[in-house]
Amino acid sequence: MERGARQSHVPLCLIAPLNTAAFRLSNFEDITTSFPATGKFTPDQRLVYEAVLDAHQSVLAALKPGVSWPDMHVLAYHKILSGLKQGGLLQGDVDDMIAAELGGVFMPHGLGHFLGIDTHDVGGYGPGLPERIQRPGFKSLRTARLMEPGMVITVEPGCYFIPLLIQPALQDPSRSKFINADALQRFMRFGGVRLEDNVVITADGCESLTDVPRSVEDVEAVMAGEGWPRGGK
């Protein structure tokens, strides 16, 4: 495989997301993984990583022909916010958080994009297709279409702690009531986590074309020098 663009984004202290875009035979792939710089997840790292992993796996399980891409975006929001709530960073009803546009504070990007003759391929919007949703947190979606067999799309939920987004939320009573500001403070230099697979929509579900370590245990094992797939399978 020839290498195309390669980008590595290392936040200030904890988790190092690695994004690699590559091309072969004029087609593209776009994969992101995140790993602890020390090789072992701290409790806070694991909290955020597993919230994103839950979103990632839940979307893969739900993707099939006929589902709405914005609905998958909401599912990712729900899993990430639920994970942050379980970790004590948020409080209250998760559906109410989403209605208050809290999801985009922590996942300020769309869930994914089409792949094909370009890394961010065309076809998301156009004549006869659903229009872009203008709500905060949804404006970044690359498409609002229903999924169809044969579509190739990325699934890339993420969770970031960006002061420029968090501070306005803390000053907005409709959103600040959900935030445990004291607990959140220790994450303000955390950076973020993103997990991105390349997926093809099949007749009755989807198939991930990405084979990288995803579970905490697998990531730590590979960083300790174990081969992948583990056990040579």
pLDDT at 197: 95
pLDDT at 23: 45
Output the tens digit of pLDDT for each of the chain's 233 residues.
Answer: 233 333 333 333 345 555 555 444 446 678 899 999 999 999 999 999 999 999 999 999 999 999 999 999 999 999 999 999 999 999 999 999 999 999 999 999 999 999 987 777 778 888 999 999 999 889 999 999 999 999 999 999 999 999 999 999 999 999 999 999 999 999 999 999 999 999 999 999 999 999 999 999 999 999 999 999 876 65
Q: Which residue has the tokens 């990531």?
A: 219
* φ and ψ at residue 71, rounded to 5 degrees: -65, -35
pLDDT at 196: 96
pLDDT at 226: 93
First to last CA, the chain: 22
Number of neighbours of residue 178 by Cβ within 10 angstroms? 21
Count Cα atoms within 13 angstroms, Cβ side, for 69. 31
pLDDT at 233: 56
Q: Which helix (H) or strand (E) holds 168?
A: helix 163-170
Taking every pair of C-alpha atoms in the chain, what is the biggest distance, in angstroms?
53
pLDDT at 18: 58
Count Cα atoms within 13 angstroms, Cβ side, for 35. 19
Beta strands in 38-90 (DSSP E): none
CATH 3.90.230.10, applies to 41-205: yes
CA pair distance 89, 85, nearest whole angstrom: 5
